[in-house]
């Protein structure tokens, strides 16, 4: 089956999560949409914002990127063969795979919407190729042409959902986590990194509800509570002594859980993370460190983040009321009683940083003291001490090089160019003088 994943203009509503990554690469419930569709597609083409193409090709070399490459795939297909088209903001729920395959096998062109956006569509290759031939390379928002076509609309029977705002990641992580974990177990699906030999294969159940991959290390006095869901420890991961883990929890490849850590309910760690202290109902993307004591709850952390010792966030208001988030257009009710923080890629917190309920920290920022309002990208944020200044992108490039060297990752020109693009895209965020506290 040929599949096309496309970003639309609403990915900007997901900043800072999607400032430096494609919406298809968001982890939620331990899975990413690019992983799920790669499992059912013999060719997966991706249309994303042009500035993300270079790093995406590097991270997903098995897939096809860009309009010209996708047009070439379509030209080689039988004209009547169906192509599955999926919005990259789709929530990566394992249960939708069968639905997507069933829709793709039907002959008539069809489409389903989520809110006012295209969620997915099924079109013959010849029809889609004709639509795309009028665009130049760099085009990525397929909704522009799909919304105006004459297709069967099955939106009412559509079980899929799209991420609209950052808080949707926290909400959906808890909603789909157990289903996705069971999918991993049933399909012997591990998260492979760099096609590492020996990463695949059946999970081994070493005690009731605790499943491990290859080369896993478990410390002494490890306490596991699997009464509400399993614990999966992927290949090369390690858990230190005196740790408490309450499932469902997923610990990604080559991740390290520090001694005396407590991970509880719906915690998903991507590969090569280091986690200590107390973590609850949170997603942590690759190469992020939260090694020391401190609480992280109902939150989403991007990649290459470091939380200093004692950093804590609040995920519950003192009034026990529902939480509202502040976005560019104003305050938005989430209907959620528990919501912590959203932190963009490359940001850092100092020791004993305190993050108030429902706050967003942008990408590439250095944060100190109390975070009582959203933090823009590329700033030194010490507002509780009366200081907040722009962080030069050159400083982040140097910092990135040092971080990469510690993890044996080679900094390439497109890594630095991405930081420059992120800096330019977030320029308007850095207008924050004399703004009131947002509690």
pLDDT digits (tens, 9 = 90+) for 19-47: 999 999 999 999 999 999 998 999 999 99
Please write the tens of the pLDDT for every residue from 40-68.
999 999 999 999 999 999 999 999 999 99
Which pLDDT value is given to residue 195?
A: 47
d(CA 307, CA 296): 10
Which pLDDT value is given to residue 250?
A: 98
Residue with tokens 């989403």: 300
Question: With contact defined as beta carbons under 8 Å apart, do 432 and 376 qualify?
Answer: yes
Distances in Å between the Cα of 37 and the Cα atoms of 5, 101, 122, 265 are: 8, 10, 14, 26
Provide the 3-class DSSP secondary structure of residue 44: strand
Which pLDDT value is given to residue 425?
A: 95
Which pLDDT value is given to residue 437?
A: 43
Provide the 3-class DSSP secondary structure of residue 348: strand
Better-predicted residue by pLDDT, 151 or 321: 321
- Provide the pLDDT confidence category of residue 314 given band limits of 50, 70 and 90: very high
Average pLDDT over residues 154-181: 94
**DSSP one-letter code for 201:** S
Q: Going by DSSP bridges, is the β-strand pair 348-349/366-367 parallel, antiparallel, or unpaired?
A: parallel
Q: Which of 81, 59, 73 is nearest to 286 (CA)?
A: 59
d(CA 29, CA 57): 24
Tokens of 323: 């939480």
- 3-state percent helix, strand, coil for the chain, nearest multiple of 5: 25, 25, 45
Work out the mean pLDDT of the chain and round it to a whole number: 92
With b for 16 or more beta-carbon neighbours within 10 A and e for fewer, the 16-44 pattern comes to: bbbbbbbbbbbbbbbbbbbbbbbeebebb
Average pLDDT over residues 86-91: 97
Which pLDDT value is given to residue 328?
A: 84
**DSSP one-letter code for 21:** S
Tokens of 229: 């869901």
Average pLDDT over residues 372-399: 91
- Provide the pLDDT confidence category of residue 439 given band limits of 50, 70 and 90: very low
Distances in Å between the Cα of 152 and the Cα atoms of 3, 74, 114, 126, 148 are: 19, 22, 15, 17, 12
d(CA 431, CA 372): 16
Exposed / middle / buried, residue 431 (Cβ in 10 Å: 0-12, 13-18, 19+): exposed
Average pLDDT over residues 287-310: 97
Average pLDDT over residues 376-397: 90
Residue with tokens 């963009």: 344
**In the β-sheet with 231-233, what is the strand arrangement from edge to edge?**
204-207, 210-212, 231-233, 249-251, 267-269, 283-284, 300-301, 342-343, 360-361
Please write the tens of the pLDDT for every residue from 223-277.
999 999 999 999 999 999 999 999 999 999 999 999 999 999 999 999 999 999 9
Better-predicted residue by pLDDT, 387 or 107: 387
d(CA 243, CA 222): 5
Which pLDDT value is given to residue 188?
A: 87
Which pLDDT value is given to residue 288?
A: 98
d(CA 18, CA 15): 5
Which pLDDT value is given to residue 402?
A: 96
CA quadruple 60, 232, 253, 11: dihedral sign? positive
pLDDT at 194 over 80: no
Select the highest-mean-pLDDT range: 132-146, 147-161, 201-215, 232-246. 232-246
Please name the residues in contact with 427: beta carbons below 8 A apart, sequence gap of 6 or more: none
Please name the residues in contact with 327: beta carbons below 8 A apart, sequence gap of 6 or more: 13, 165
What is the chain's Cα-based Rg?
Answer: 21
The pTM assigned to this predicted structure is 0.94
Give residue 202's Cα distance to chain centre.
Answer: 25
d(CA 316, CA 357): 6
Q: Where are the alpha helices (DSSP H) in 187-316?
A: none
d(CA 170, CA 126): 39
Average pLDDT over residues 323-337: 93
């Amino acid at each position: 089956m040929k599949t096309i994943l496309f970003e639309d203009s609403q990915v900007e509503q997901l900043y800072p999560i999607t400032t430096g990554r494609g919406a298809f690469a968001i982890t939620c419930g331990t899975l990413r949409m690019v992983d799920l569709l790669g499992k059912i597609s013999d060719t997966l083409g991706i249309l994303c914002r042009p500035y993300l193409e270079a790093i995406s090709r590097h991270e997903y070399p098995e897939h096809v990127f860009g309009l010209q490459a996708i047009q070439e795939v379509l030209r080689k297909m039988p004209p009547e063969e169906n192509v599955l088209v999926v919005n990259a903001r789709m929530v990566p729920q394992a249960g939708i795979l069968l639905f997507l395959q069933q829709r793709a096998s039907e002959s008539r062109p069809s489409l389903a919407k989520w809110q006012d956006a295209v969620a997915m569509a099924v079109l013959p290759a010849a029809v889609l190729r004709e639509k795309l031939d009028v665009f130049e390379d760099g085009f990525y928002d397929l909704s522009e042409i799909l919304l105006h076509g004459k297709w069967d609309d099955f939106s009412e029977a559509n079980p899929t959902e799209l991420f609209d705002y950052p808080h949707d990641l926290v909400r959906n992580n808890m909603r789909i986590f157990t289903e996705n974990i069971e999918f991993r177990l049933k399909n012997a699906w591990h998260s492979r990194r760099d096609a590492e030999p020996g990463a695949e294969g059946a999970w081994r159940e070493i005690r009731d509800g605790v499943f491990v991959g290859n080369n896993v290390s478990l410390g002494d006095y490890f306490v596991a509570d699997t009464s509400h869901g399993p614990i999966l420890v992927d290949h090369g991961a390690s858990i230190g002594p005196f740790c408490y883990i309450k499932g469902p929890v997923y610990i990604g490849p080559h991740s390290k859980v520090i001694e005396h850590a407590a991970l509880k309910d719906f915690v998903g760690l991507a590969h090569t993370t280091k986690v200590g202290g107390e973590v609850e109902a949170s997603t942590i993307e690759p190469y992020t460190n939260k090694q020391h004591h401190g609480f992280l709850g109902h939150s989403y952390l991007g990649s290459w983040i470091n939380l200093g010792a004692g950093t804590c966030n609040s995920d519950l208001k003192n009034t026990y009321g529902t939480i509202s988030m502040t976005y560019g257009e104003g305050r938005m009710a989430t209907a959620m009683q528990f919501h912590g923080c959203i932190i963009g890629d490359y940001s850092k917190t100092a020791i004993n940083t305190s993050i108030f309920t429902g706050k967003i920290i942008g990408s590439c920022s250095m944060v100190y003291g109390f975070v009582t309002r959203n933090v823009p990208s590329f700033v030194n944020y010490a507002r509780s001490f009366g200081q907040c200044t722009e962080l030069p992108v050159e400083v982040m490039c140097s910092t990135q090089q040092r971080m990469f060297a510690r993890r044996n990752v080679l900094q390439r020109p497109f890594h630095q160019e991405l930081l420059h693009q992120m800096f330019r895209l977030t320029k308007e965020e850095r207008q924050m003088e004399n703004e009131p506290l947002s509690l």
